[in-house]
Structure 1
Amino acid sequence: MKTPKIIVLVLITFISFQTKAQQKLDHAIWDQILLINVSEDGKVDYKGFMRDSSQLYQYFTYLSDNPPTASWSKEETLAYWINAYNAYTIKLIIDNYPLKSIKDIKDPWGRQFFKINGVLHSLNELEHKILRKLGDPRIHFAINCASFSCPIVWNRAFTASNVDNALETLTKNFINDPKRNTITEEVVEVSKIFSWFKKDFKVDGEDAKAFINKYSTVKIDKQKKKGYKKYDWSLNE
């Protein structure tokens, strides 16, 4: 008995849809490059990324050809844009390497130097017009500005299945990292991230202090000294 043509067409369409759905979640190339070129503590081997540039540019092509759509879940969308931000930051650095700081580049966050779906974008657009509008302040501890005082570069790719747990872990690790925040019974000096983006941490009527206390092993209460740590913009290599 022959299968009717209409059923065959439906099956082909369904398989094609499934394949595309699976492809949009595939950040395997980025995951592999990160594992090779980023240490557990977030030190980046930019020369290594330059050696692996063919794989890196394959990933850029993947990002450009597979932008998020309205059908994607929030987790899928978050993973895509965080990976994109970090990958294109790496591109910005290796395109201008060697340098001592991302600030050695003229207007590093405002320059439009990469395309997604044929449209030129800047890192500022990804951060302020897309990622921050997704309403999850934990993104500030997952995206990296190639500098020592930034949250570390996670040496794995974000995916829909790991992004929530990863954001939770990275946020807790950043807040309790004495190199980036000093929170003791006597002194509080936190990252300027909590000043620059204070509006983002006002979740459910709380503020940045409440957000920090949710993750900090030492709670901010009656410490004698409070302020912000000096931000170190030296390259994170």
Structure 2
Amino acid sequence: MVALMASASPKAIPAVPPAAVAASAVAFDHGAYDKLLKKYVNEKGLVNYKGWKADQKELNDYLALLSKNPPAANWSKAEQMAYWINAYNAYTIRLILDHYPVQSIKDIGPKIQIPFVTTPWAAKFFRIGGTAMSLDNIEHAILRKKYDDPRIHFALVCASISCPRLRNEAYTASQLDRQLDDQGRDFLNNPAKNRPGQEAAQLSKYFDWYKGDWTKNGQSVVSWVNRYATTKMEKNTKISYLDYNWQLNEQ
């Protein structure tokens, strides 16, 4: 999940045959996933994993569709981003359900975890377009590398309390900008996750882990925070970072 855990780039996704490209002209339908999020995720972004554990068929069906239908070259940027964000979050839920009950995603895997190798985010436990992939592959090798939009950090959810809120709706191309901006406002104005201020600010470790993303293109951590936070920061505001709570985001 965090930048320090970035794994090697995945194998190249196989070229999509022309017929499949033509069939992909219609954006991928995330409606089934949307219904599941509305059923098992509350407005605070907390998940009813116990209930979902007992009713997994529809999630498995959705993941099977994701696996068989990777983004095609003629999909718009928004369609591709929505696909990968939904895939990341849905496969994170799959990972938790596979090991539930669990207190934290970090409890999954060996007790001694080696960055880039044995973390839950590095495990290649699913396939997309025939290629074995990990959550790290989606986040670092695809979303961060290809689309260059730091707002993805407001949308990707690592099943932990300090993560951004898991929306109880799927991301869609037509609503993506609105949804990402809404996530930014929600994240920056939640005092459990960020406490901006003029003289001093306590921010999420996201702004430290991914500092390179926030400072691209003439931007800064301060400018990104001020874009969404009700309480604005100054250029010389003293910044510290809150401890990260890895407890499961469970209802």
Q: TM-score, normalised by structure 1?
A: 0.88
Q: Which residue of structure 1 lines up, in the alignment, with residue 108 of structure 2?
A: 105
| Counterpart position of 1:195 | 208
Match of 1:10 in 2: none
Whole-Å Cα distance in 2 between the matches of residues 37 and 81 of structure 1?
21
Q: Distance in 1 between matches of 2:236 and 2:200?
A: 6
Deviates more, 1:206-215 or 1:188-197: 206-215
User: Is there any run of 5+ residues in structure 2 with no aligned partner, and where?
Assistant: 1-18, 110-118
Tell me which protein shows more helix as a share of its residues: 1
Return structure 1 stretches of 4+ with deviation > 2 angstroms.
19-22, 184-187, 222-226
**1:234 is aligned to 2:247:** yes
Q: Say whether residues 1:81 and 2:84 are aligned partners.
A: yes
Distance 2:235 2:82 in 1: 38
Q: Quote how far apart the aligned CAs of 1:111 are.
A: 0.5
Q: Is the 8 A contact 2:25 2:75 kept in 1?
A: no
Match of 1:21 in 2: 25
Match of 2:190 among 177, 192, 195: 177
Matches within 5 A, 1:13-92: 17=22, 20-22=24-26, 24-92=27-95
For 1:156, the equivalent position in structure 2 comes to 169
> Whose radius of gyration is greater, 1 or 2?
1
- What is aligned with 1:96? 99
**Which consecutive unaligned segments of at least 5 residues does structure 1 have?**
1-13
Aligned residues: 221
SS in 2 for 1:161: helix
2: CA distance between counterparts of 1:50 and 1:60? Answer: 15
SS of 1:144's equivalent? coil
- The two structures have a TM-score, normalised by structure 2, of 0.84
**Alpha-carbon distance between aligned partners in 2 of 1:61 and 1:176, rounded to the nearest angstrom:** 36
Q: RCO higher in 1 or 2 (8 Å CA, sep ≥ 6)?
A: 2
Deviation at 1:90, TM superposition (A): 0.2
* RMSD after superposition: 1.8
Partner of 1:216: 229
Aligned letter for 2:203? V
